A and B are shown apart, each in its own frame.
Chain A
Amino acid sequence: MISFEPVGEVAVLRFDRAAKKNALTPAMLRDLVVRIAGCNSARAVVLSGAGDVFCAGFDLTLAKDDDGALAALITELAAAIGALRDVPVPVVASAHGAAIAGGCALLCACDFVVADQASRIGYPALRLGISPAVSAPSLASVIGCGPARRLQLDPGVISGAEAARIGLVSDLMNTPAECEPRAIDLATALGRKPAAAMAHTKRWLNRINPLMESGACEAALRASLEGVGGTEQRRLLAEAWSRT
């Protein structure tokens, strides 16, 4: 579900479910955590997706008659966010095409994000009654609390260009096809820097981050889990399935 390709000393991890726009399953997210743990000896990581889009978010077909699956998706997403943040090497995401909901949440935990101008980024899962709060501490750490509020409370999507303007995207490309090569180039350059200095600097930045104070990530996870199985979420999901 996650493919691994070494490119020099860079570990390229790709969601490998192109036919489903790399929609996330709990197993994929668990696999991601395992793969990241295996990247400790690489010099940098690229997180990308096979095919046209980086990631379309949760595979909600799993949650159709199963609240437990949605809870598992959210819980495993929190673990993946933590793993990306804590891995002691720089992580570069290739957010080509789209990074929706859970896909957007993963971007927040990466150190650099490459996206194309027209990439679609945001949290439309709010329309299904799913709160993106689980990624709020990471998102606010990257772009600040004000822009994070605007993005987390708006069920629309923004373009890669707008995401670059507010600081979520660090490298803006013209086309989706340019994103992953650029991410690999950037990771290669970062991977050539002294490893200990990079690891210590990343760890230190995590430690001095006031938004990651004790309990914040747990509270964020609880906020996203709160609505699972609730009347509103069931109604909104049922309405969405009746349309498809």
Chain B
Amino acid sequence: MTELTTLTRAGPIATLTLKRPEARNALSVDLLNDLHARVASLAASRDVSVLVLTGEGRAFCAGMDLKAVLDDADAALSLLTSLADLTLALRALPMVTVARVNGAAIGGGCGLACVCDIAVTHADSRMGFPEVDLGVCPAVVAPWLVKKVGAGRARRVLLSGGLMTGAEAHAVGIVDHVAPDAAGLDTLCSALTARLATGGHVAMLATKELLNRLDHSMDAAVLQAGAELSAAIVSSEETRAILRARLKA
């Protein structure tokens, strides 16, 4: 099997890269399995203080790869449960996590950016949650967006669907820092990660654990319920018809 992710290290900074550029790094069962294994290895790491999550190629992550599960309700549920579990494991990591949104971050991909402690992008990236436009319910990522931008803004973003630019995502609060263009993202991201690495590891971890407690990050039940709801909607006749038409087009 070809590797669907890579994990590299430069001192205390690790970079986890989604490596399925031909599918715009869409989250398939295999890619999610790969990510689970990487995150599990990072959870045991003692000397990484910053993790950067990014995508190879032009996209950060185009969201859930629903093609394979379109006619299989059980497969849809296991795909979405896998996403839900991954978000929890990512949030629980003992290092500061940075989403480096190099390009499109859509649906579940944008959700992963919200799970990270800090998100950065450039002004021209495309981000957002177009789920409702496709008849899909973004139930797994919704709790993470609410934690990131607040319930009022999350409501507007998720019910509006569509996509926004990186600059707009910065204004809404989905990303914390924005580079003026794609070329500026590396400079911005390396300055940020170098700064984050200067923090005392024990103090950073204690702070992160407190923040996770404060916003109920480890509430597995709401994510499991979200996976079940999202899977049920994906498997409905109406949504299947919309998705089939879209995927053919």
Contacts and interface: CB of A to CB of B under 8 A. Distances in A.
Interface of A: 126-133, 136-137, 140, 144-150, 152-156, 166, 211, 216, 219-220, 223-224, 226-227, 230, 232-233, 236
B208 interface: yes
Interface in B163-187: 173, 176
A144 B199 contact: no
A157 to B, nearest CB: 10
B222 interface: no
Contacts, number: 109
A215 to B, nearest CB: 9
A155 B118 contact: no
Contact of B211 (A126, A152, A227): A152
B219 to A, nearest CB: 13
Contacts of B96: 153
Interface string B193-219: 001101111111011111101110000
Contacts of A223: 206-207, 209-210
A78 to B, nearest CB: 13
A43 to B, nearest CB: 31
Interface residues of B, number: 29
Interface stretch (B6-14, B29-37, B56-64, B142-150): B142-150
Nearest to A166: B173
What 9 A-B pairs have minimum CB-CB distances, sorted nearest first? Answer: A129-B200, A146-B148, A126-B199, A223-B210, A145-B215, A133-B210, A131-B203, A155-B199, A150-B176
Given A150-B117, A155-B198, A232-B201, A144 B207 contact: no
A166 B174 CA distance: 12
Nearest to A233: B200
B214 A129 contact: no
Contact of B200 (A140, A147, A219, A227): A227
